[in-house]
Chain A
Amino acid sequence: MDGTLAVFNRALVSYRRLWQASVFSSFILPVLFVLSIGIGVGGYISDVGGVSYLDWIVPGVLASTAFQMAVGESTFPVLGDFKWVRGFHAMRATPVRIADMISGYQLYIVFRVLIASVVFLGVSALFGAIHSPWVVLTPFVCALLGVAVSAPTSAFAATIENDSYFALLFRFLVIPSTLFAGVFFPVSQLPELLRPLAYASPLWHAVELCRAATLGVAPPWPVAAHVAYLLAWAGLGYLLALRAFRRRLSD
């Protein structure tokens, strides 16, 4: 536990130095999204299933911000700590265990996601887009989503040698998920054949949970099923990360 907190601490100290660099993508961009699409595009759309378009996409943008941040923070920073900075090699020479390296970093992802979610919810509330006290659960849904995608992405980053693979990750998984996993329009609009792909994405489950919570309605699947799916990604991702880090750090 000490080791995990030490790794978390290092990520926090780095963040304190470099936070300005991510202010735009973490805090400003999501709000711009809601303004331009929610209000701008929403002006042309009467409503989605009885809910104003703005209210409808706020939870989607909330989850997708967490999604993109968690993936992004687990690509270059993790590969860099193996290849250029060699921060994991530095930890390796101390009593810190490999499990601590992963847990400590996941803790940092949770921290980042929680802050971004709370700020975004605050702004959304000003626009009157929050309709249920269940909203207090959404930061935790976002945190769970964060781990569910950050853990396997860290495993991937620990496996590759070359950062050009990240372009593939974004092109074939992250961007399609963001576009088609129910953030901007309901998955039911997709052709029947493609819907399972949206259901497979952890993002969709988090979007539906967040939407249910901000609108005060029931999600499409039982809450436990959505949560279990996200937990499975987090757990499996954690194991994959353990294996990948072990391989990379031992000879």
Chain B
Amino acid sequence: MIYARGLVKRFGDFTAVDGIDLEVAPGEAFGFLGPNGAGKSSTMRMIGCVSTPTAGELRILGMDPVREGPAIRARLGVCPQTDNLDPDLTVFENLTTYARYFGIPRAEGRRRATELLEFVQLTEKSGSTVDPLSGGMKRRLSIARAMINEPDLVLLDEPTTGLDPQARHLLWERLFRLKQRGVTLVLTTHYMDEAEQLCDRLVVMDAGKIVAEGSPRHLIETYSTREVVELRFGDDAPATYVEKLAGIGERLDPLPDRLLLYSADGDAAVNEVHRRGFTPSSVLVRRSTLEDVFLILTGRTLVD
């Protein structure tokens, strides 16, 4: 579906995407995970054939995005990072006018619009204009719009950013159904839980480069431990405890407000902390997540 070798995107002398390699297979759900400015959207725009690569090789659906842009775009569904719905048109009209861009006949466009509104649970809003819709509804409409041409490949740039947890879960559930139908999904996200929920495979991007690649589970196993203990020590700076707790678990990461202790067995690690005579003000043992992987790989948290 997607094949890239040494893909580069420069804006002036700033390099946004710095030589990445990618392969996405049919039916796969593939994710780009990374902080602001990592180059996720720049990569997605090249894949969507709306931005020309500065260097490197890129094939989408076996075609060349520069020469065969319209033919590729006819088979893509794109949900951009910032919504570009028509605010003055109704929800339904947003879908039917968009259908025409793909040369879909009127009646067929209406049929698909009705079906897709059902799918994203916006049927009651069908006749409402877009302007007053909530952020989550607009996002769902954008996703429905991206499906209007029954695409082979769907590109979703931060589909759930800015949504409340409930709206996010509804979207995840819909995206999961798309995946079950065999649609190839490529998405970007800041959210670890989103990547874990939706992606079969993902790459972690930082400053234009891919710093790790694999399934969520594989990444966690490779770069983190099974469990993570979060320790807080009242007003003391967590960094001062790094030395005192050395040797417990496999790795210690001091954050401004807490100390992360990576260990295959969190409870055993906590016992050891107590045995050495330290009493943290709070202790939390949890499963390791991609967030931890990201922190280990880049030394930074994803949250700004």
Contacts and interface: CB of A to CB of B under 8 A. Distances in A.
B87 A85 contact: yes
B238 to A, nearest CB: 43
B84 A251 contact: no
Interface in A1-42: 2-3, 5-7, 9-10, 13-14, 17-18
Interface of A: 2-3, 5-7, 9-10, 13-14, 17-18, 85-87, 89-97, 249-251
A96 B101 contact: yes
Given A13-B89, A17-B88, A85-B86, A92 B103 contact: no
A97 B93 contact: no
A153 B96 CA distance: 29
Contacts of A18: 88
Contact of A14 (B70, B76, B88, B98): B88
A9 B50 contact: no
B67 to A, nearest CB: 14
Nearest to B101: A94
B97 A9 contact: yes
Nearest to A94: B101
B222 interface: no
Interface of B: 11, 45, 48, 50-52, 70-71, 73-74, 76, 78, 80, 82, 84-90, 93, 96-98, 100-103, 129, 149
Given A2-B100, A93-B78, A95-B103, 4 more contacts: A7-B101, A13-B89, A17-B129, A90-B85
5 contacts: A9-B100, A18-B88, A87-B84, A89-B50, A90-B84
A95 B101 contact: yes
Contacts of A6: 97, 100-101, 103
Contacts of A17: 88-90, 93, 129
Contact of A10 (B73, B90, B97): B97
A91 B101 contact: yes
B126 to A, nearest CB: 15
A90 B89 contact: no
Nearest to A1: B103
Nearest to B145: A90
Given A9-B97, A14-B89, A93 B50 contact: yes
A163 B130 CA distance: 24
B293 to A, nearest CB: 31
A81 to B, nearest CB: 9
A190 to B, nearest CB: 42
